[in-house]
Homo-oligomer: A and B are copies of this chain.
Amino acid sequence: MGRWEPGARERLERAALELYVERGFEQATVAEITNRAGLTERTFFRHFADKREVLFSGQAEMLEICVNAIVGAPEAVAPLDAVAEALRAVSAPLEERRERSQRRQTVIAANAALQERELLKLASLASAVADALRRRGVTEPTASLCAEAGLAIFKVAYERWIGEPGGRTLADVIQDSLDHLKAATAG
């Protein structure tokens, strides 16, 4: 445990998201975040590589879910369908925290530096997915293409899901995007 109160990392994440929402990412300083969390700047940088990373702690979990879904899919499933299955698996935890996802996404949408970090996280996700596909025997360049295409589907679907009034499920929007992509590439 920590020196005084436990859960330092979680407190930092909460304080950071709050401040980023209140005053914007650039206007919030790390000193303010750590003050609100009752810690020092140095401790912030022990938990997070930089000021942006504090918004992306869930990434490791998403990556694990994705890879497991692909590795665990039946042999007969086609590469792109295995990727779609992984996306559906990932959508579940996001679905549960729609409110939080929306607040987070609003912050990210307002700042280019945060968009960069999100794109890097998604790219590393695609890289891991391509790896998992290769372990299923899928050859290049099909593995990378399916991974990147899945990423494209997810990006489009996630954006639509966040922006929509709230009727459809994220999994539904993903399926819809997949169908549209298949139709567009059928020509």
- A residues sitting closer than 8 Å to B (CB atoms) are 78-81, 112, 115-117, 119-120, 123, 141-142, 144-146, 148-149, 151-153, 155-157, 159-160, 176-177, 180-187
Contact = CB atoms under 8 A, between A and B. Distances in A.
Contact of A160 (B81, B141, B153): B141
B79 A184 contact: yes
Contacts of A176: 141
Given A151-B152, A152-B151, A152-B152, A184 B145 contact: yes
A153 B151 CA distance: 12
Main SS at interface, chain A: helix
A81 B142 CA distance: 19
Contacts of A159: 144
Contact of A119 (B78, B120, B152, B186): B120
A177 B115 contact: no
Contacts of A183: 142
Nearest to A116: B116
A182 to B, nearest CB: 5
A19 B157 CA distance: 41
Nearest to A80: B184
Contacts of A80: 184-185, 187
Given A81-B187, A144-B156, A187-B81, A149 B181 contact: yes
